[in-house]
Amino acid sequence: MEQGIELVVIKELLGHAHIGATATVYAHVRLQCDAINLLDHAIRNPAETTGQPDDGDDPSLCAIPVR
C-alpha cells in the first residue's frame, strides 16, 4: 500500500478470499507504521514533538521498497 498498490491487488496477490481480511491486517500495519514514525520523530527532535504525523522530510521507517 505504501508503494501505491491498490488493496484489491494486494488481496489477490496474497490469496485472501475476502478483502476484509486484507484491509484488517493492513490497516493495523498502517497504524503501527504511523506510531513508529511519530516515535522516531519524537526521539530525533524532542523539542518539536507535536503529536502529528511526520511532514515527510525524512524517509518513513515503514516505507521499505518491496522487490
pTM: 0.47
For the chain, the structural domain boundaries read 1-67
**C-alpha grid cell for residue 36?**
513508529
Residue in the block written with cell 496474497: 14
Do the beta carbons of residue 7 and residue 22 sit within 8 Å? yes
- Of 40 and 3, the one with more pLDDT: 40
- Measured on CA atoms in the order 51, 4, 1, 65, is the torsion positive or negative? negative
User: pLDDT tens, 27-59?
Assistant: 778 888 888 888 988 888 877 655 555 566 666
Q: What is the DSSP letter of 57?
A: S
Place of cell 511519530: 38
Burial class of 22 by CB neighbour count within 10 A (0 to 12, 13 to 18, 19+): buried
